[in-house]
C-alpha cells in the first residue's frame, strides 16, 4: 500500500495559527517600538525648546540696556518692566530694552517681552523703541505645554518682588528669578544676576 506524503489538514491549521500568532507578536512589538520612538522624539523636541527658551531669555537679560521706550504712542515706559500676569493683548510678564544685535553689530536697541498665554510661552519684539500707535509686535511661540511662568525681581535691598519696578525703585533689578512649570509636572528654576 502506498502512503501519501504531506501534511494533514490539522497540521496545516496548527502551522497557520502559530504563524499568525508570531505575526501578531511581531506587529505588537514593532508598534510598541514605534510608539516609544514617537514619544521620545516628542520629549526630545520639548526639552530642546526648553533649552532654546533659556538661551534666548539669558541673551535678552544679559543684553539689557537702560533705555526707556514709547510703545504704540504711549507715555515713556521704564527700560525694565515686570508683571505677575500679562493682562491685555500686548501685555507681558517681562518686558525690557536690549541691545539690538546679538552679534555685536550696530543695530539700534529693541524692545522684547515674554509672556505665558494659553499654555505657550510667547516672545514679543517691537519694530522700534519709539513707535506709533499702530505698531504691533512680532509674536513668536518659544515653548508649548507650559503650566506656569513666574518671574521674581530682587531689588538693591535684597527683597524679592513679583512686580518691577517696585514703588520706590525705577532702575533695574539686581537679579531675576524665573520658574518654568511644564504641564508634564517638571519645575525648572533659573537665576540671572546683574
Question: Given a cut of 90, is residue 4 above it in pLDDT?
Answer: no
Burial-class residue 117 by CB neighbours within 10 Å (0-12, 13-18, 19+).
middle
Q: How far apart, in whole angstroms, are the C-alpha atoms of residue 2 and residue 21?
A: 35
Q: How far apart, in whole angstroms, are the C-alpha atoms of residue 118 and residue 45?
A: 19
| Grid coordinates of 182 | 511644564
What are residue 186's DSSP bridge partners? none
Full set of structural domains in the chain with CATH: 60-142 (3.10.610.10)
Q: What H or E segment, with its residue span, contains residue 114?
A: strand 110-117
Residues found in the chain:
194
- Summarised one tens digit per residue, pLDDT across range 62-84 is 999 999 888 766 788 899 999 99
pTM attached to this predicted model: 0.81
- Summarised one tens digit per residue, pLDDT across range 14-54 is 999 999 999 999 999 998 999 999 999 999 999 999 999 99
Amino acid at each position: 500500500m502506498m502512503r501519501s506524503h504531506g501534511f494533514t489538514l490539522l497540521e496545516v491549521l496548527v502551522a497557520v495559527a502559530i504563524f499568525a500568532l508570531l505575526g501578531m507578536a511581531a506587529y505588537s512589538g514593532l508598534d510598541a517600538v514605534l510608539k516609544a520612538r514617537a514619544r521620545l522624539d516628542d520629549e526630545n523636541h520639548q526639552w530642546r525648546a526648553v533649552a532654546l527658551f533659556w538661551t534666548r531669555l539669558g541673551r535678552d537679560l544679559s543684553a539689557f540696556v537702560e533705555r526707556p521706550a514709547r510703545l504704540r504712542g504711549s507715555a515713556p515706559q521704564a527700560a525694565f518692566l515686570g508683571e505677575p500676569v500679562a493682562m491685555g493683548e500686548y501685555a507681558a510678564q517681562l518686558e525690557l530694552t536690549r541691545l539690538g544685535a546679538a552679534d555685536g553689530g550696530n543695530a539700534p536697541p529693541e524692545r522684547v517681552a515674554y509672556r505665558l498665554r494659553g499654555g505657550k510661552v510667547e516672545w514679543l519684539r517691537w519694530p522700534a523703541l519709539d513707535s506709533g500707535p499702530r505698531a504691533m509686535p512680532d509674536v513668536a511661540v518659544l515653548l508649548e505645554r507650559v503650566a506656569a511662568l513666574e518671574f521674581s525681581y530682587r531689588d538693591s535691598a535684597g527683597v524679592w518682588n513679583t512686580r518691577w519696578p517696585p514703588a520706590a525703585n525705577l532702575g533695574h533689578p539686581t537679579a531675576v528669578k524665573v520658574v518654568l512649570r511644564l504641564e508634564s509636572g517638571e519645575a525648572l528654576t533659573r537665576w540671572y544676576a546683574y
